[in-house]
Amino acid sequence: MFCTHLRLGRLESNIFLFLLLKLKLLLLLLFLLFHLLSLFFFLFPFHPRFLHPAFDRCI
């Protein structure tokens, strides 16, 4: 009985580590996406269409 309890605890910790790894990967992807977006807006900052869709109506 003690061995099965130990195995369950180990499995739970494995699941926790797996979820933590997934969270880290998700945060890394969001970080990279944010950097790509900021780079895109840095390259095309003055184009009105990239700023707001309402500018299309003004022009």
**Who's near 40: CB < 8 A, 6+ residues apart?**
50
Task: Quick: pLDDT tens for 7-47.
Answer: 556 677 788 889 999 999 999 999 999 988 887 777 666 55
Q: Which structural domain range is residue 10 located in?
A: 2-58
Cα gap 14→22, rounded to integer Å: 12
Per-residue CA distances from 35 to 2, 5, 31 (Å):
49, 45, 6
pTM, two decimal places: 0.48
For residue 17, the model assigns a pLDDT of 87
45: helix, strand or coil: coil
44: tokens are 């095309």
Cα gap 56→27, rounded to integer Å: 34
Per the structure, the count of domains in the chain is 1
